[in-house]
Amino acid sequence: MSVAASDKPLIGLTCRWEESKDWFYLSRDYAHAVAAAGGIPVQIPLLPEIVPDLAQRFDGFILCGSPSDVDPARYGEERRPEVILIHPERDETDRQALEQAFAAKKPVLGICFGLQSLNVYLGGSLLQHIPASIPGALEHKDRQLLHPIRLDPGSRLAQWASKNGEPEVNSTHHQSVGRLGRRLRVAARTADGVVEAVEGDFPGQFVMGVQWHPERIWESETLSARLFRELVQAAAAWQQSARSFSPVGSP
């Protein structure tokens, strides 16, 4: 049975900021992936003051990638020289979105920077520059390269990728998860030990983050496509649950 357009869950996607042109933007890949999974993508501008009101309208969230780094001050560390670009507006927009998502138990998917932002929000830290922390690390900044990831056998990701034990994914990052945030578990790593995915232990709430960019490869990589489907399905379930508790139309 097809889902009516009015019933499709609204998915909020945090934008990026181009400083030289002073505009908010987002690759169409994100919107395309969400729409193909059955959701309606809506961009969240980097205006933290409006996020609490705006977030109430969404059924789920995707914290998207960003060319910036999370401010190390947010996890209590001094800034390394390799941390060149910080966008306070993006950091705070993510924080506000997560505040609303966790308060209402709405599903959350963090992608690349979004995974890092999620981890920091939950009290974790980051490796500010992978080559400085992991000697001999793989190349993680070349978006054209694919590398295999090792899935934790007990993770949901492993269940979804049951026919492909080490999927090959892409990367565009120089930072990664350091200390895990509360109630997160590692779901995947690369051969050099870099965390590639986390899953949250929050009863009744979908919480997941991946370090790769599934929006760029979902049409050819099945696990990446599954991520968007699961997020949208969780958002649809949240939507239906919220409606069932709504006083509107009650006798």
Which of 199, 215, 221, 230 is flagged as catalytic? 215
> DSSP labels for 44-79?
E-S-GGGHHHHHTT-SEEEE---SS---GGGGT-PP
Overall size of the chain counted in residues: 251
Active site (annotated) includes residue 174: no
Distance (Å, whole) CA 210 – CA 43: 20
Q: Which two tokens stand for residue 28?
A: 């169409």
Contact 96, 52 (CB under 8 A): yes
The catalytic position among 112, 147, 196, 199 is 112
Question: Distances from the Cα of 167 to the Cαs of 27, 98, 153, 209, in angstroms?
Answer: 24, 28, 13, 16
Instruction: Say if residue 159 is exposed, middle or buried (CB neighbours under 10 Å; 0-12, 13-18, 19+).
Output: exposed
Q: Report how far residue 56's alpha carbon sits from residue 239's, in angstroms, rounded to the nearest whole number.
A: 11
CB atoms within 10 A of CB 2: 6
Reading the block at residue 118, the tokens are: 């999620």
* Catalytic member of 87, 147, 213, 230: 213
112 has catalytic annotation:
yes
Residue 64 is a catalytic residue: no
Residues labelled catalytic: 112, 213, 215
